[in-house]
């Protein structure tokens, strides 16, 4: 048996972390667009460079508080981490300069109000802003959840939009399980060409 728990190809979030891993220490500005309970924010904060800045957004106060608690508990909170409550399309636009990594984990807060789901319209708007702000060789990563009605509509909208992104400027791909029942999460990956 190979002992490598953190490198299991079992779901979209795990695969996203594996793909992001080599980029995180090289990134100067990182953004978690949907911090929720802070798992992705903590993953980024634990690996980012000493002089990097990490922004984490969520529309819910509850998610910001939960992320702050996780970062504090894991001794990852610092003045280089900026937790901001609001809609990610508006907040991303306010970050000065280019951004190296942008991570979306779509859907709803598992422990919260499931009606506060990310929406197709805002998500596609935020991706468009991200495409303008992302640095050369920078990455936009989206985990999408087509297992619910709202999630399926959103995943289809993300896929349809990303298929129109010009190949000469961005490499766009996706990862999804093929043998899982129901509709497992999918991963969309965008890299701006250098």
Ligand X SMILES: C[S@@+](CC[C@H](N)C(=O)[O-])C[C@H]1O[C@@H](n2cnc3c(N)ncnc32)[C@H](O)[C@@H]1O
Q: Is 68 in the site for ligand X (CB under 6 A)?
A: no
59 binds ligand X (CB under 6 A): yes
What is d(CA 72, CA 174) in angstroms, rounded to the nearest whole number?
A: 33
* Contact by Cβ (8 Å): 99, 140: no
Q: Is 27 in the site for ligand X (CB under 6 A)?
A: no
Which one of the spans 30-38, 44-52, 147-155, 185-193 is the region binding ligand X (CB under 6 A)?
30-38
Measured between alpha carbons, how far apart are the two ends of the chain, in Å?
Answer: 39
Q: Which residue, among 88, 93, 104, has the nearest Cα to 151 in the 3D structure? A: 104
Q: Contact at 8 Å (CB) between 69 and 110? A: no
Paired with 173 in beta bridges are 189
The pattern of x and - marking residues 119 through 158 that bind ligand X according to CB under 6 A reads: ---x------------------------------------
Show Cβ contacts of residue 115 under 8 Å, excluding neighbours closer than 6 positions: 108
Least distance from C-beta 121 to ligand X, angstroms? 10
Figure out which of the listed residues 47, 88, 125, 133 binds ligand X, where binding follows CB under 6 A.
88
Using DSSP's 3-state secondary structure scheme, residue 113 falls into coil
Contacting residue, 44, 109, 187, 190, with ligand X by CB under 6 A: 109
Count of residues that interact with ligand X, criterion CB under 6 A: 21
Residue 107 as a binder of ligand X (CB under 6 A): the answer is yes
**Which chain residues interact with ligand X by CB under 6 A?**
34-40, 57-60, 63, 87-88, 105, 107-109, 116, 118, 122
């Amino acid at each position: 048996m190979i002992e490598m728990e953190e490198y299991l190809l079992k779901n979209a979030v795990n695969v996203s972390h594996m793909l992001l891993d080599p980029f995180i220490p090289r990134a100067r500005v990182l953004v978690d667009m949907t911090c929720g309970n802070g798992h992705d924010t903590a993953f980024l904060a634990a690996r980012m460079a000493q002089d990097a800045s990490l922004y984490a957004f969520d529309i819910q106060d509850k998610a910001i508080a939960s992320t702050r608690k996780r970062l504090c508990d894991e001794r990852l909170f610092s003045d280089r981490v900026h937790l901001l409550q609001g809609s990610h399309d508006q907040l991303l636009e306010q970050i000065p300069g280019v951004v190296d990594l942008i991570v979306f984990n779509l859907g709803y807060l598992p422990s919260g109000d499931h009606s506060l789901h990310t929406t197709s319209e805002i998500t596609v708007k935020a991706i468009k802003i991200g495409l303008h702000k992302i640095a050369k060789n920078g990455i936009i990563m989206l985990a999408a959840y087509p297992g619910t009605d709202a999630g399926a509509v959103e995943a289809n909208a993300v896929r349809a939009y990303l298929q129109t992104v010009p190949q000469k400027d961005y490499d766009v791909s996706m990862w999804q399980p093929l043998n899982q029942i129901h509709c497992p999460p999918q991963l969309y990956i965008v890299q701006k060409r250098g």
